Chain A
């Protein structure tokens, strides 16, 4: 049954891509993220495709791979994830825009290969709905984003609520800088924990249709279980799987990212 839905989604994406290519509305991107927390490292690679099917709608699909290594370098946690989503422009009123997006991440089984043995964790599923309100001002765009994520992993359930404020359009040389501050409320087993995440990104044109985005994210109290670009890893924290993954939730953590975007 899952294969049927995957094939159906793939077929839809392919047909949409044909339409999108005719209109030159395809965006391909590849992203690398790297981080270190107390000697534990994290590597993330991600490939994604976005297809604008009409003036208001964009379909997105992506694949991720995570490898977290422990202080003992032979200890590692690895997993993969694929995600797909849709973004719809609901309203344009003067300089104000309202967007709605929905995204589903289907994680792969998490594998912890450590000295004590081989431990696996059932794949998590994360669904996220977001409402984004943008206001274009004098040379800059400001806005806020409300998000709700539901994480299901084995017998565990968690919810994450997010509120983010951001501003885009601050120019530093040729680069366009975006700043974002967000607070998340993680609910798991009846308890709520608040975590803030700060991100900065500079977008730099590097060629015709090609853009490089350099950035970073910092979470003073660790990342929430869902709602961020590393949710494919942090969703496993609902299992309390030990230091290799829990460091990213319980400690001050951050990552650097480099994204290359090809848009035509």
Chain B
């Protein structure tokens, strides 16, 4: 009897203390607002491509992939043949399809030149960490799946001619975020897919490239906009962006 009385008393006191402690936070207006202005903004992404013979030539130094600022001096990016993430949730690149490694510097500038014939490619960077004004973004695996394709007598690509993104730092609610990029006009009508797997869930969005004109040049554009509301971004285990022509 005494024991039960004590248990009841402890529960009542604990309940009252914890409820009263909570009073300082406000008593009924809704949940705590998420931290604001905790996004990382990228505006300078671009890949400059030329055509040399039947290959696309990406010159070292002129391209930024994909316009991010890393905290590492040098990020190694592995290039694979084909789409290594047909199922972006579970697939992993196969060593059989490994082509080469290229380097990206701290400011996201390509250090090694690339020559790519027609085909589908997957570029994979592991354990990247982006820091911007104290805000941090980490991803265990980041991949970009793209195509080099014939378009008339020249080669087009689905690499980003211009890339911008606003994404949440770790711990920030995903809302008010976006990823936008422009690519070769030949991709218009094709699809782009963004897949993010993080500690609180996944985001899987598919969009179509639409034709538009940018500074007098015809391009294909795509935009991924986050929904209102959370969840907060946890540590990212996978970020896969895919861009395909029609």
Contacts and interface: CB of A to CB of B under 8 A. Distances in A.
B22 A119 contact: no
Contact of A155 (B4, B34, B199): B199
Interface string B1-27: 100100110011011001101110111
A197 to B, nearest CB: 14
B4 A98 contact: yes
Contact of A193 (B7, B29, B202): B29
A194 B8 contact: no
A118 B204 contact: yes
Interface string B212-244: 000000000000010111111010000000000
A178 B205 CA distance: 47
Given A120-B201, A155-B199, A194-B27, A131 B8 contact: yes
A122 B23 contact: no
Interface in B162-177: 171, 173
B32 interface: yes
A117 B223 CA distance: 13
A24 interface: no
B15 A148 contact: yes
Contacts of B37: none
Given A98-B4, A163-B15, A191 B200 contact: no
A161 B205 contact: no
A187 B22 contact: yes
Nearest to A240: B230
Interface size class of A (residues with CB under 8 A): 35 or more
B206 A117 contact: yes
B1 A241 contact: no
B226 to A, nearest CB: 8
Interface residues of B, number: 40
Given A116-B205, A121-B231, A131-B7, A146 B18 contact: no
B28 to A, nearest CB: 5
Determine the main DSSP class of B at the interface with A: mixed
Q: Which of B22, B199, B225 has the largest number of chain A CB atoms within 10 A?
A: B22
Nearest to B194: A117
A98 B200 CA distance: 39
Given A120-B202, A239-B231, A188 B26 contact: no
Contacts of B1: 91, 93
Nearest to A100: B7
A154 B201 contact: yes
Contacts of A139: none
A114 B227 CA distance: 10
Interface in A88-110: 90-91, 93, 98, 100, 109-110
A220 B8 CA distance: 29
A187 B229 contact: no
Given A98-B8, A121-B201, A240 B173 contact: yes
Given A119-B203, A148-B11, A155-B199, A242 B229 contact: yes
Interface string B24-62: 011111111010000000000000000000000000000
Interface of A: 90-91, 93, 98, 100, 109-110, 114, 116-122, 131, 133, 146, 148, 153-156, 159, 161, 163, 185-195, 221, 237, 239-243, 246, 249-250
Query: What 8 A-B pairs are tightest by C-beta distance, nearest first?
Result: A192-B22, A239-B231, A242-B229, A117-B205, A240-B230, A154-B200, A191-B25, A191-B32
Interface of B: 1, 4, 7-8, 11-12, 14-15, 18-19, 21-23, 25-32, 34, 171, 173, 199-206, 225, 227-232, 234
18 contacts: A109-B201, A110-B201, A116-B227, A119-B202, A119-B203, A121-B231, A146-B15, A148-B15, A154-B199, A155-B200, A190-B32, A191-B26, A191-B32, A240-B173, A240-B231, A241-B229, A241-B230, A242-B229
